[in-house]
Amino acid sequence: MAKTKWIAGLICAALLAGGAHAQTPDAAALDRMSAAELLPHALKEGKVTVYAFTSRIAQIEKAFEAAYPGIDVVPLDISSTQMIARLKAEAQAGIVNADVAYVSDAPVVLNELLPRGTLIRYVPPDIAARVPAAFASPLLANRLSTKVVMYNEEANPNGAPIANLWDLTKPEWKGKVVMVDPSLRGDYLDFMTEIVLRAPEMEKAYAAAFGKPWVKGKNANAGEDWIAALYANQPVLVRNTDAVNDAVGKKGQARPPVGITTYSDRRDNAKENRALQVANAIEPSPGILFPAYLALAKGTRNPAASRLLIRFMMGDDTPAGGPGFAPFYVAGDYATRTDIEQPKDAIGLDAFRAWRMDPVKSAKIRADVADFILSLK
Residues that bind other proteins (CB under 8 A): 49, 51, 55-56, 58-59, 62, 74, 76-77, 81-82, 84-86, 88-90, 92-95, 97, 108, 178, 183-184, 236-240, 242-247, 271, 371-372, 374-377
CB of 93 to other proteins, least distance (A): 3
Distance CA 259, CA 148 (A): 8
φ/ψ of residue 147, rounded to 5: -130, 105
- Report the residue number, 130 or 251, with the smaller CB distance to other proteins: 251
CB of 111 to other proteins, least distance (A): 13
DSSP, residue by residue, 18-29:
HHHHHHS--HHH
Distance CA 338, CA 251 (A): 36
CB distance 258 to 276 below 8 Å: no
CB distance 257 to 279 below 8 Å: no
Distance CA 167, CA 16 (A): 68
Measuring CA to CA, how many Å separate 172 from each of 181, 268, 328?
Answer: 21, 28, 36
Residue 185 has what DSSP assignment? -
- Report the residue number, 164 or 261, with the smaller CB distance to other proteins: 261
- Report the residue number, 92 or 318, with the smaller CB distance to other proteins: 92
- Report the residue number, 55 or 137, with the smaller CB distance to other proteins: 55
φ/ψ of residue 136, rounded to 5: -110, -10
CB of 26 to other proteins, least distance (A): 25
- Report the residue number, 94 or 213, with the smaller CB distance to other proteins: 94
- Report the residue number, 212 or 218, with the smaller CB distance to other proteins: 218
Which H or E run contains 362?
Answer: helix 359-375
Instruction: Give burial (CB, 10 Å; 0-12/13-18/19+) of 11.
Output: exposed
CB of 132 to other proteins, least distance (A): 30
CB of 120 to other proteins, least distance (A): 20
CB of 323 to other proteins, least distance (A): 13
Q: Is the peptide bond before 69 cis (omega within 30 degrees of 0)?
A: no
- Report the residue number, 221 or 342, with the smaller CB distance to other proteins: 221
Q: Is the peptide bond before 115 cis (omega within 30 degrees of 0)?
A: no
CB of 189 to other proteins, least distance (A): 9
CB of 296 to other proteins, least distance (A): 17
92-97: long-range contacts (C-beta < 8 A, 24 or more apart)? 96/297, 96/298, 96/299, 96/300, 96/301, 97/49, 97/51
- Report the residue number, 312 or 352, with the smaller CB distance to other proteins: 312
